[in-house]
């Protein structure tokens, strides 16, 4: 635990630790505070999802970026402490259904750092609030994509949620919490399948498998089709965005999803998924972008 404390101290300076996982420090955005600052205004926790929290709202942008850096650094430290080469997936009924699945997951088990390091776009200097801009690079600028909340579809007033990527990029902040893996016809207001122009991508995810097993599955599928992005949902699942394959390979992917107990919803062209870089509802966590292969990069 001391190792994680040192990581936090390297980012924030002196921290007054009240327990192994809870401490207080000077807010990194103190200069932005509109009211006087107190010694317990900025709280740091390093268990579960590491979080920096400040009672002042005026420093939110600085706190958001520091949270991104803190979580990234601690995730790397935790990864280094895991016995990746000897990893054996759990054999509980929820995780592994048969010995064949076990062997598949063992074969493709991987240290996530290996995938991070192979990301064609390393996202250097991209702050948390701008991750969505980078993520839209998996589409082309003239692609019409839907961005919004789940219910922002089906009525004429929802036509504003269907725009070319070039128009979405003009927004000063993330225009919506979710996006679908397809492009749409012009002048539509519903993300129904009949309005899809091109089912461009598929998303592989699981809410039931441990993340190490999810990494193994992503590693397996990326041997077959191009991996475009990995979004950490900020909770249990990784959302791996892949180029949609031809029909024959798609049938193989469907069979693999069934055998591995994954969520088949990611194969639907109009299924909404979380955008990266946004805070989750009623939570201090945010969705992160871990890997990115935008259009135009080989």
Average pLDDT over residues 234-257: 92
Q: How far is CA 19 from CA 5, 24, 45, 176, 285, in A?
A: 10, 10, 9, 38, 21
User: pTM of the entire structure?
Assistant: 0.69
Q: What is the mean pLDDT of the chain?
A: 88
Closest among 292, 233, 263, 274 to 49, alpha carbons compared: 233
User: How much is the pLDDT for 236?
Assistant: 86
User: How much is the pLDDT for 89?
Assistant: 52
pLDDT tens string 97-117: 556 677 788 889 988 888 988
pLDDT tens string 31-88: 999 888 888 899 999 987 889 999 998 999 999 899 889 988 888 887 766 544 444 5
pLDDT tens string 17-39: 988 888 999 999 999 998 888 88
Average pLDDT over residues 248-263: 89
295 vs 126 pLDDT, higher one: 126
User: How much is the pLDDT for 265?
Assistant: 95
pLDDT tens string 187-234: 999 999 999 999 999 999 998 888 889 999 999 999 999 999 999 998
% of the chain surpassing 90 pLDDT: 61
User: How much is the pLDDT for 87?
Assistant: 46
Alpha-carbon distance of 230 to 242, in angstroms, equals: 9
User: How much is the pLDDT for 83?
Assistant: 45
Number of residues in the chain: 298
Alpha-carbon distance of 181 to 198, in angstroms, equals: 9
Residue 135 has pLDDT above 60, yes or no: yes
Where are the extended beta strands (E) located within the chain? 15-17, 22-25, 42-45, 51-54, 144-148, 162-164, 178-179, 183-184, 196-198, 201-204, 227-232, 238-243, 273-274, 288-292
């Amino acid at each position: 635990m001391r190792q994680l404390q040192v990581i936090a101290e390297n980012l924030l300076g002196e921290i007054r630790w009240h327990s192994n996982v809870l401490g207080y420090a000077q807010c990194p955005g103190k200069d932005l505070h509109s009211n006087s600052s107190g010694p317990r205004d900025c709280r740091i926790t390093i268990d579960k999802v590491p979080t920096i929290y400040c009672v002042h709202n005026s420093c939110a942008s600085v706190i958001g970026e520091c949270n991104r850096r803190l979580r990234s650094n601690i995730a790397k430290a935790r990864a280094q402490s895991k016995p990746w080469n000897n990893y054996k997936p759990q054999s509980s009924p929820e995780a592994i259904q048969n010995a064949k699945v076990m062997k598949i997951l063992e074969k493709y088990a991987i240290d996530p750092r290996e995938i991070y390091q192979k990301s064609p776009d390393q996202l250097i200097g991209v702050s948390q609030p701008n991750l969505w801009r980078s993520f839209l690079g998996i589409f082309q600028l003239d692609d019409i994509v839907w961005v919004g909340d789940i219910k922002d579809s089906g009525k004429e007033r929802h036509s504003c949620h269907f725009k070319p990527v070039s128009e979405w990029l003009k927004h000063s902040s993330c225009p919506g919490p979710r996006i679908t893996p397809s492009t749409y016809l012009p002048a539509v207001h519903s993300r129904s399948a009949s309005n899809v122009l091109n089912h461009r991508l598929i998303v592989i995810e699981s809410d039931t498998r441990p993340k190490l097993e999810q990494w193994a599955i992503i590693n397996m599928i990326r041997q077959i089709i191009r991996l475009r992005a990995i979004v950490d949902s900020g909770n249990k699942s990784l959302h791996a965005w892949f180029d949609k394959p031809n029909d024959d390979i798609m049938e193989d992917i469907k069979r693999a999803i069934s055998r591995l107990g994954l969520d088949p919803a990611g194969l639907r062209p109009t299924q909404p998924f979380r955008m990266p870089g946004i805070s989750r509802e009623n939570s201090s966590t945010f969705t992160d972008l871990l890997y990115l292969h935008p259009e135009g990069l080989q």
